[in-house]
A and B are shown apart, each in its own frame.
Chain A
Amino acid sequence: MGQDTLIRNVLIPTAQILAVVLILPLLIAYLQLVERKVLGFMQARLAPRRVGWHGLLQPIADAVKLLIKEDVIPEKSDRFLFTLAPIATVIPALAALAVIPFAGAPFTVFGYEVKPFITDVNVALLYLLAISSLGIYGIILGGWASNSKYSLLGALRSSAQMISYEVPLGFAIIGVMMLAGSASMVDIVEAQRKAGVWYVVPQLVGFFCYFIAAIAETNRVPFDLPEAEAELVAGFHTEYSGMKFAFFFLAEYTNMIVVSCIATILFFGGWLRPLPNVESLWWLQNGWLILLPLTLGGFAGWLFGQRTGRGLPPMIAGGGIGAAAGAILAMSDLGGLASLSLPAVSGAFWFFFKVSLFLFMYIWFRGTYPRYRYDQLMALGWKWLIPLSVANVIVTGLAIVVKGAVQGRG
């Protein structure tokens, strides 16, 4: 009994936390490679190709470089705060992942039931808002402690921007909270299953506000003013190098992933398959068997098409071959693939599929849009997004009241 409790309450959560914290840096390293590749292709360049096949080992090389690089601390900086700042940025970013459910159904390992999320608290959304606000401290501490004008200006811009955009972000989330009647991530997805529709449909305006505010929250293009390299060198991390820089980098990309995860859960049904209300599309539940090879094949064809100058056709061909192979595998059930089509696995697939689409959007925006000017950024936040998101909350509330009244009478 004692041992059982120990495993259930200590060992499994520790293993879950370790899994998330250890896998995440690897994911981020490869996200960065994907970013460089996509940006390169959008600019008719080849992107990294030196290290490994098509540059596939580039992230590892970069990580090693950052680890062994000299860690410079400027002479006139505040040494304690300078060291504290990257830690204070990365911890809130990682802590936010604690409440993200990666899939719905639990799975069993050695007879113990493991849930595909670290924890499910009933104030998850409030927790996320609180934790993401804490990340500003690290940035402003880093900018201040560097004792450099560029760092300080970057940090000031960053904090002003993050505080301004937290308001529409919060209001955009409230709409979903009202519809679902809960702030727990799992409950929100379950509510979408019951409603039979992703909340992006009734909350389109809310999603729009959330997405723009989220890009601004994570300091990404077109709102990457804190690191406007033409004006501020690199913003708040100008003076940072080596591992400390890597921590800021990790935090930025973790925030990107967290924000995409939240968007997926709140507005795109988390781990639910597309059109969860249409019974006849049940096979989409295991769609990953086809979609995953399709994506991988398409990606390989894309790389090949770039290299050989053949453009789009190899990508279509690669995707087609992948899809065919996936379909054959799925139908012939080779190697007991049916056991892999557990609800947890297919749920995780749909979740990560949607999250990667969001991450692609981030990169796509970076390849497309020029940077906002500072006053334009503030004007967009305060004059457009905040009124829009408040209006969204009011309209949603009215709709719920009217619906309730109609149903109560009927």
Chain B
Amino acid sequence: MGATTRTVEAPRTTGAREILKTFLLLELWVGLWVTLKNQFRPHITVEYPKERVELSPRFRGIPRLRFHPESGEELCIACHLCETVCPDDCIHIVSEKKPDGKGKRLVSFEINLERCCFCGLCVDPCPTKPLTAIYMSHDYEMADFKRDAFVAPLKVLLNGVDPKDYKE
């Protein structure tokens, strides 16, 4: 529309033109024309399990943990910051002293996805550099049959679950 402004006049309810409009059902024809035209518009939906929409890079799916991209070690230093900041109290971390005495390491790391609100606040305070240990992944298929399946243990958090491939 840009800078142009349009003045909207109140619809007139009398006059020969309006009466003609009513009796020729003009607005009904306009409506029919709209749907007829739209039949030839290309589809905008995708066939979901076969095709998927491209997600925004900032999309917040299931929170997951990351390995170091080069060394392949766990990035998490068990600082409990995400556990502290979590508004839903859904992260549960058990840690122990490293045998060599420097810092801590994870024993278990659980995220209760039943409670998680996918706010992404756990990612913000994560101190590991250059990548955060916890991150919001792009996985969004979470349906399951048992409630246990929604408590993601360390192994699932690190490796993720492969989305089931759609078979034709």
Contact = CB atoms under 8 A, between A and B. Distances in A.
Interface of A: 38, 40-46, 49, 302, 305-312, 315, 364-365, 367-369
Nearest to A43: B38
B42 A46 contact: no
A42 B35 contact: yes
B41 interface: yes
Nearest to B38: A42
Nearest to A365: B32
A368 B31 contact: yes
Interface in B21-40: 28, 31-32, 34-36, 38-40
Contact of A44 (B32, B36, B42): B42
Given A46-B47, A49-B47, A364-B36, A369 B31 contact: yes
B43 interface: yes
Contacts of B42: 44, 305-306, 308-311
A308 B45 CA distance: 12
Interface in B74-97: none
B40 A307 contact: no
A90 to B, nearest CB: 31
B150 to A, nearest CB: 29
18 contacts: A38-B39, A41-B40, A42-B35, A42-B39, A45-B43, A302-B39, A302-B40, A305-B40, A305-B42, A307-B43, A308-B42, A311-B40, A311-B42, A364-B36, A365-B32, A367-B35, A368-B32, A368-B34
Contacts of B36: 364
B167 to A, nearest CB: 12
Contact of B35 (A45, A312, A368): A368
A349 B43 CA distance: 32
A311 B19 CA distance: 37
A208 B47 CA distance: 41
B35 A44 contact: no
Contacts of A42: 35, 38-39
A368 to B, nearest CB: 4
B3 interface: no
Nearest to A316: B40
A38 B31 CA distance: 16
Nearest to B28: A369
A405 B45 CA distance: 64
Contacts of B35: 42, 364, 367-368
A315 B41 CA distance: 12
A38 B38 CA distance: 10
A75 B39 CA distance: 45
- Give the 9 A-B residue pairs with the shortest CB-CB distance, closest first: A309-B42, A312-B40, A368-B35, A311-B40, A41-B39, A42-B35, A367-B35, A44-B44, A368-B31
A38 B28 CA distance: 19
A310 B41 CA distance: 8
Nearest to B43: A46
B40 A309 contact: no
Nearest to B46: A46
Residue of A41, A310, A312 contacting most chain B CB atoms (<10 Å): A41
Given A40-B43, A46-B47, 14 more contacts: A41-B39, A41-B40, A43-B38, A44-B44, A45-B44, A46-B45, A306-B42, A308-B42, A364-B32, A364-B35, A365-B32, A368-B31, A368-B34, A369-B28
Contacts of A44: 38, 41-45
A23 to B, nearest CB: 28
Residue of B35, B36, B39, B41 contacting most chain A CB atoms (<10 Å): B39
A52 to B, nearest CB: 12
B4 to A, nearest CB: 28
B53 to A, nearest CB: 14
B142 to A, nearest CB: 23
A46 B47 CA distance: 8
B36 to A, nearest CB: 7
Contacts of A305: 40, 42
A368 B39 CA distance: 11
Nearest to A363: B35
A340 to B, nearest CB: 32
A215 B71 CA distance: 71
Contacts of A367: 35
